[in-house]
């Protein structure tokens, strides 16, 4: 692979944007989009990108089973684990990793809940990650859910293609007929 293509691979691995990678690698901005797409179809470039992505995943210790474990933490989280028996919130630093992984954000609001009493109340807002989405992602991974498209109607795709070809042939014949006059 030539140095320009190697540079393209290095630049592509930065942000996975083929157009910008082509520009940064020295290809003309005018044709960078087409060039980037073409380069990504090249077998040697594809292989280099695959190797580069694998090395990046290794550097950050990202493995498929780790992602699945994290999805499972969110998908099977239970909000009850955030509270003590008396109903107070367990301090964040004391939460087990499986419970804290299910938290998307924490907001502390200081306000006077009872007007005129002069007492500032502390309100804790805890937002959890989308449990439904995590379960959906897990189900798709294990092929428990499969997306499928249903096509109904009397006209099939084959019939539509045949009709389009017939119209094209008719237009071509009409043009040829007009050109001879």
Q: How far is CA 126 from CA 74, 81, 103, 107, in A?
A: 14, 13, 7, 7
Residues 17 and 71 in one domain: no
Contacts for 59 with CB less than 8 Å, ≥ 6 apart: none
Residues 71 and 104 in one domain: yes
Q: What is the pLDDT of residue 159?
A: 80
Q: What is the pLDDT of residue 95?
A: 92
Q: What is the CATH number of the domain that holds 44?
A: 1.10.10.1400
Question: Are the beta carbons of 79 and 131 closer than 8 angstroms?
Answer: no
Q: What is the pLDDT of residue 83?
A: 94
Q: What is the pLDDT of residue 113?
A: 74
Q: What is the pLDDT of residue 48?
A: 95
Tell me 139's DSSP state: H
Q: What is the pLDDT of residue 116?
A: 75
Is 179 inside any structural domain? Answer: no
How many domains, in total, are found in the chain?
2
Is 90 inside any structural domain? Answer: yes
DSSP H or E stretch at residue 125: strand 121-128
> What does each of the 181 residues of the chain score in pLDDT, given as a tens digit?
899 999 999 999 999 999 999 999 999 999 999 999 999 999 999 999 999 988 888 887 778 788 888 899 999 999 999 999 999 999 989 999 889 999 999 999 988 877 778 788 888 899 999 999 999 888 888 888 777 776 666 667 788 888 889 998 888 888 887 645 4
**Residue 26 structural domain:** 3-61
3-state DSSP percent of the chain in helix, strand and coil, to 5: 60, 10, 30
Residues 75 and 128 in one domain: yes
Q: What is the pLDDT of residue 91?
A: 92
Q: What is the pLDDT of residue 84?
A: 94
Identify the domain boundary among 38, 61, 84. 61
Question: Are the beta carbons of 128 and 77 closer than 8 angstroms?
Answer: yes
Nearest one of 84, 89, 69, 86 to 134, comparing CA atoms:
69
Q: What is the pLDDT of residue 146?
A: 73
Is 103 inside any structural domain? Answer: yes
Residues 91 and 41 in one domain: no
Is 181 inside any structural domain? Answer: no
């Amino acid at each position: 692979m030539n140095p320009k293509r190697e540079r393209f691979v290095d630049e592509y691995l930065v942000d996975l944007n083929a157009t910008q990678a082509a520009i940064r690698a020295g290809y003309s901005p005018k044709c960078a989009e087409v060039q980037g797409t073409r380069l990504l179809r090249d077998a040697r470039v594809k292989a280099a990108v695959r190797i580069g992505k694998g090395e990046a995943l290794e550097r950050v210790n990202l493995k498929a089973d780790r992602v699945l474990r994290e999805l499972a933490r969110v998908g099977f989280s239970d909000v009850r684990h955030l509270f003590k028996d008396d109903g107070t919130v367990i301090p964040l630093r004391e939460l087990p990793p499986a419970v804290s992984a299910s938290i998307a954000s924490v907001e502390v609001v200081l306000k006077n809940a009872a007007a005129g009493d002069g007492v500032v109340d502390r309100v804790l807002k805890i937002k959890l990650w989308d449990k439904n989405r995590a379960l959906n992602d897990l189900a798709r991974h294990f092929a428990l859910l499969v997306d499928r498209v249903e096509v109904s109607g009397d006209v099939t795709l084959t019939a539509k293609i045949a009709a389009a070809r017939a119209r094209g042939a008719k237009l071509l014949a009409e043009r040829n007929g007009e050109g001879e006059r």
